[in-house]
Each structure stands twice: as C-alpha cells, then as structure tokens.
Amino acid sequence: MALKVPRHSLLLLLAVGAVQAAAASAAVPPPQAQLQVSFYARSCPRAEAIVRRVVRRRAARDRSVLPALIRLHFHDCFVRGCDGSVLIDSTPGHPAEKEAPPNLTLRMLDVVDDAKAAVEEACPGVVSCADIVALAARDAAAMAGRVRYELPTGRRDGTVSSAAEVNLPSPSASFAEALSAFRSIGLGVVDLTTLLGSHTMGFCHCGLIMNRLYNYNSTSPFDPTMDAGLLAVLRRRCPPHVVTPQNQSRDVIVPMNFVAPLGPFGLDNSFYPSVLAGRAVLQIDQELASSGAARRIAAMFASRPGNFRVQFAKSMVKLGGVNVLTGRQGEVRLNCRRFNS
C-alpha cells in the first residue's frame, strides 16, 4: 500500500532529491507492510483453522505446548527475522540455529511439523513454515490467556540457518543489554516489558539462576534484590550440586512465576506484581524493575490486566513483522526442517 504523505508535510520537502526519495520509499513499502490479514483467503482458505486445530489438539494433551510455541516464535524472529530458520535441521559441517546453546531447550517443534503436514494436505506448497510458527504462537496466546489478535501473514521461509548467528539476550543480561538487543530488531521498551510478561508461563532450568543464588558478586553470594522468601525456596529447589562440571544437563527446573493464578501454562499479568516485589526468578526479569520507564509500565500492567492483554497482542504483531521475507524472497518450504534445494 502506498504511503500517504500529509499535504502540510510536503512543504518541508524543499529539495527535489528529497521529494524523489520520499516518492521512491512510498512506492516500495517495507516487507512487513506487505504482510496482510487473511493473506491465504483465496490460496488456502482453511490454513489458519488447520493450524489452530492442531495447536488445540496438542494443548489438550499437554498445556506446556502453549508457552513453548510462543517462545519458539520469539527465537525464530530474533535471528534473521521471522523466517522459520530456527526450524531447520543441521547437516554435516553446517550446524543450524537450533544447535546454538539458547535454542537447545526449544520444544514442540513437532507441533509445527504436524501443522505443516495438515496444511500441505489441504494446499500443497502454499503456506510457509514461518507463517505457521507465527500463527501457532498467536493461537497459543489465545488459549493461554485470552490474548486475541489478527495476524498479518504472507511471510516466506528463509534459506539460511546458522548456529553462529544466534545472539539472543541472555537470561542473566541486564535490562539495558536486553533493551539494546530489542532495539536492534526494531522493538522498544514497551515491547520488551510486555513480552517479558510471557515469563509468567513455563519453567526454567536451575542452571540459569545459580549465580543469583550462590555466586552473585564479590560483595554478596546472592542477588540482594531477590525476595528472601523466594531465595529460600529456590535454594531448596536448586541446591549447589545441581549444576556441576559432572552434571551439565540442567534438568532440574523451577516455575518461572511462583504466584500464577492460571497455573504455569496460563498467560496473565501476574508476572508484574512478582517483579515489583522482587520475586522474579530470572535476572533479566528482575532487572526490569530497575528501569524507570519499564517499572512504570510494569506497575500499570500489574493493576490493569486488560491493558496487558491489549499491549501483548500489539507487541506480538510487531514482533511478527521483524525482517520478514515477502513476495518472491526466500521460499515456501515443503518440509519445515529442510530447505527445498
């Protein structure tokens, strides 16, 4: 869709070159602008319903599907954009994104496989894996916490997947570091504060929080910003011997949010009161309370669950538009785990 420039703004474009540049940018919209709601209305009208049915069927058996699919979408979009590259299997000598340490704990990729197989049966070679990941995350948000939104589709699948390119914000990162990473992909403080709210769901491995419990810094063995009651609980659940050079599996897990009215697989605003009370499990979450702007947003979400749901939907749509491939870019994979060629 062409960009409409207000009449009064044209008065500012005094140089002919500036006018030509503005016209050129208007004629070629950015890739995310080429996405559209109901992109498959003619080419595969049942596509979204098929993906939703697969997610609902799997979630009926295992509710942990819901946070896993939202996390999968985030990990996909943060590297090369939302192009399904996180789904690719490695080949000899070429480790793909899923082999990078931050992605080793990704789960439920087989849900995407199931959805792709069902969509391929209905409409061969039409619906991209990138769109299936984004649609599955949207459906997971709706099932987990009544977060509903229309999702523009039309993404194409990428043709590159490299473990060396994966550079996701660490769970032990400071809020400033995480915000810098978000800004590098076009998201801001509101999006970061909002999307961290998904940490009210699921579990984390003890290995990700051991430094907060036993080896924080030179002046304190534990993170002094952590609530004393939470510290005691986490030390019981994650004793020092859990993660050692002999045991790197990090299989012991704890809830991301110990006060979650909807349970560990429900999406609500209960993450924010926990953060404000010093009861966040991950360092990156607790750091949220140290930023003035983020703290104000968190306080608002803590008292207004409806505002959280609305903004979560907006930030998920924004995330889903990061560096997408559209038109004739990339490909539509026939198998989400392999490039076509």
Binding-site entries for substrate: 169
Tokens 């940490």 locate to 199
CA distance 273 to 34: 38
Q: How far is CA 271 from CA 233, 276, 285, 321, in A?
A: 17, 9, 9, 25
Tokens standing for residue 106? 């990704």
Q: Which residues are annotated as a binding site?
A: 76, 79, 81, 83, 85, 97, 169, 199-200, 268
What burial class does residue 91 get, using C-beta atoms within 10 Å of its C-beta: 0-12 exposed, 13-18 middle, 19+ buried?
A: exposed
Q: Which residues are annotated as a binding site for Ca(2+)?
A: 76, 79, 81, 83, 85, 97, 200, 268
Tokens standing for residue 335? 């198998």
Q: Report the SS3 class of residue 309.
A: helix
Torsion of CA 124, 127, 129, 133, to 10 degrees: -130
Helices (H), 146-251: 175-183, 189-195, 210-214, 228-237
Q: Which residues are annotated as a binding site for heme b?
A: 199
Query: What is the phi/psi pair of residue 174, to 5°?
Result: -75, 165
Determine which one of 8, 73, 75, 241 is catalytic.
Answer: 75
Specify whether 73 is catalytic.
Answer: no
Catalytic residues: 75
